Structure 1
Amino acid sequence: MIPFTDDELVKPVQNVLKSVLPMLERDGGGMDFRGVKNGKIYLTLTGACHGCAASGTTLKYGIERALKLEIHPELEVVNIPPNQEFDIDKL
C-alpha cells in the first residue's frame, strides 16, 4: 500500500518527471502529466515518443522505474493516448 495520498504525490511525481524529461527530449519526444489516482500516474507521451515502438519500454523502464526508485516501489505509469478523452475524476 502506498503511504501517500494522491495529492501528496503530485509534486514529487512532477519533480521526477522533470528530471527524466531531458531523456525524452533528446529523441524528439516529450510527455504531458495528466494526474495521479490511486498510485497510478497518468501521462501522455508526445512528439516522437507517441507511437514509437520503444514507448512501452520508455514508460516502464525509464519513467516508471525513476518514479519507483525516487518515490515508492508500488507506483505505476499509465499512458493515455493523445486525443483520447480523459477525466481523472471519472476513474
Structure 2
Amino acid sequence: MTTEELTNDVLKALDEIRPFLNHDGGDISLVSIEDGKHVTVRLEGACTNCSVNQMTLKAGVETTVKKFAPQIETVVNVE
C-alpha cells in the first residue's frame, strides 16, 4: 500500500466519524501518519475540552481508523 493510499484510507475513516463529532460541536483533522503505523489527529472545537475526549479517541476514532486501515497501531491526539 502506498503512503497516498494509506492517507486516503485514514481520511475516509475520519470522514465517517466526523458527523458524530460535528453533532457535539467538535471536529477532527489529520496531523500526520508516522511509519505507516501511527496516526496523529487533532480534536477540535468542543472536543478539545470534552471530558470524554480520550474515550472518544480510543473507542470511536481509533476503532474507525483501524477498520479502514488495519495496519495502523495507534491513534493519538495532539493538543
TM-score (norm 2): 0.87
Partners in 2 of 1:74 and 1:10 — Cα distance?
Answer: 11
Aligned partner (choices 38, 59, 74) of residue 57 of structure 2? 59
Deviations 1:58-81 (A, max 9, x none): 100000001112320643111000
Question: Residue 6 of structure 1 contacts residue 37 of structure 1 at CA under 8 Å; is this kept in 2?
Answer: no
TM-score (norm 1): 0.76
Q: Which runs of 4+ in 1 moved over 2 A?
A: 4-8
DSSP-derived class of the 2:40 partner: strand
Question: Residue 12 of structure 2 contacts residue 68 of structure 2 at CA under 8 Å; is this kept in 1?
Answer: no
Segment drifting more, 5-14 vs 51-60 = 5-14
Question: Percent same amino acid at aligned positions?
Answer: 31
Partners in 2 of 1:9 and 1:78 — Cα distance?
Answer: 17
**Match of residue 80 from structure 1:** 78
Instruction: Specify the structure having the higher radius of gyration (Cα).
Output: 1
User: Which segments of 5 or more consecutive residues in structure 2 lack a partner in the other structure?
Assistant: none
RMSD: 1.5
Structure possessing the higher relative contact order (Cα contacts under 8 Å, 6 or more residues apart): 2
1:12-91, aligned counterparts within 5 Å? Answer: 12-38=9-35, 39-72=37-70, 74-81=72-79
C-alpha displacement at 1:32, in angstroms?
Answer: 1.7
Count the aligned residue pairs: 78
Partners in 1 of 2:69 and 2:13 — Cα distance?
Answer: 9
User: Which segments of 5 or more consecutive residues in structure 1 lack a partner in the other structure?
Assistant: 82-91
Partners in 2 of 1:70 and 1:32 — Cα distance?
Answer: 16
